[in-house]
Structure 1
Amino acid sequence: MSATVDANVLLYASDSSSPFYDRASEVVQELAQGPDLLYLFWPVLMSYLRISTHPAIFGNPLPVAKAMSNLDGLVRRAHVRTPGESAGFWSLYRTVTTGVTARGNLVPDAHVVALMRQNGVSSVWTHDRDLRRFVEIRVRDPFDRAP
């Protein structure tokens, strides 16, 4: 079964001072090595670059070259896919946002959910509770140790 990860998991996996670092790194590495496909959507990768290199947002900002190198190491893996929007995306986005008022910070979440649906991805690993508003996906919190 294919999955994706949200930017927050990638960010925790890049910040060795975070209490979530070990678990986030473990999840990203396990997903990226397969055998199932890991989908990394461009809005998530761009959010990672924006936040990980921004000193006012990220506690330990990465040099741009390091942040890009981190992503290079993921996107080059055999079991990783990086699709973008394809025909019919807008219609699917509208469907995904039916019943969910996608404004502000929910807009990029809805974008990712629409990309997930368009690519047949059912699970997202994230620490973001907002994604639970979208009932058509499975949200997996890597830091929730409950069975």
Structure 2
Amino acid sequence: MMLIDANILIYAYDGSSPLHHAAKPWLEKTLSGAEPIRMAWMTILAFLRITTHRKIFANPYSVSEAAAIVNDWLAQPCMGILQPTARHWPILTVLLRDGQATGPLVMDAYLAALAIEHGATLCSTDQDFTRFNRLKLVNPLAATG
């Protein structure tokens, strides 16, 4: 099972990103495959926040356009949403402490804990995740980006 980070999603829909040409086909292939793909609501909200923001995104989507993209993802048979379980808080607190995750890294620790508790591999280009020892992490764009 793969848990996809927001940066992959944003690169796939940002035609001005140097990683767009790697991210778009990777995401399309991944979402049309048989392997279980998961996202967190936090990741989806980050995609919406950034891709609809005129000061951040070069050619922002309307809320309707961005929501339609998310609806397309959620409609894929392989796709699902990961939710925290009762194990989440104990895992998260260890990651926060051992990974010295403060400030914006707290959200990374949250996503890492979600992946760990569900046995998922996190797909991200963000090297900050390497601070979390128990996390299975892959950068699917490394070979092509």
Looking at structure 2, the residues matched to 76 and 119 of structure 1 have their Cα atoms a distance apart, in angstroms, of 21
Looking at structure 2, the residues matched to 76 and 25 of structure 1 have their Cα atoms a distance apart, in angstroms, of 18
**2:105 paired with 1:112:** no
What is the one-letter code of the residue matched to 1:141? N
Superposed displacement of residue 85, structure 1: 1.6
* Partner residue, 2:44: 45
TM-score of the two chains, using structure 1 as the length reference: 0.89
* Partner residue, 1:97: 96
Q: Deviations over 1:50-82 (max 9, x none)?
A: 111111222221111111111111111111110
**2:71 paired with 1:60:** no
Q: Deviations over 1:6-65 (max 9, x none)?
A: 111100111122221121111212221221101111111111111111112222211111
Unaligned 5+ runs, structure 2? none
In structure 2, the residue corresponding to 1:39 is in which secondary structure? strand
* Partner residue, 1:20: 19
* Partner residue, 2:140: 142
Looking at structure 2, the residues matched to 27 and 138 of structure 1 have their Cα atoms a distance apart, in angstroms, of 19
Percent identical: 28
In structure 2, the residue corresponding to 1:13 is in which secondary structure? helix
Q: Runs of 4+ in structure 1 displaced over 4 angstroms?
A: none
Looking at structure 2, the residues matched to 88 and 126 of structure 1 have their Cα atoms a distance apart, in angstroms, of 23
In structure 2, the residue corresponding to 1:139 is in which secondary structure? strand
Looking at structure 2, the residues matched to 88 and 124 of structure 1 have their Cα atoms a distance apart, in angstroms, of 18
Looking at structure 2, the residues matched to 136 and 87 of structure 1 have their Cα atoms a distance apart, in angstroms, of 18
Judging by fraction of residues, say which structure has more helix: 2
Superposed displacement of residue 84, structure 1: 1.6
* Partner residue, 2:129: 131
What is the one-letter code of the residue matched to 2:39? L
Looking at structure 2, the residues matched to 138 and 88 of structure 1 have their Cα atoms a distance apart, in angstroms, of 17
What is the one-letter code of the residue matched to 2:138? R
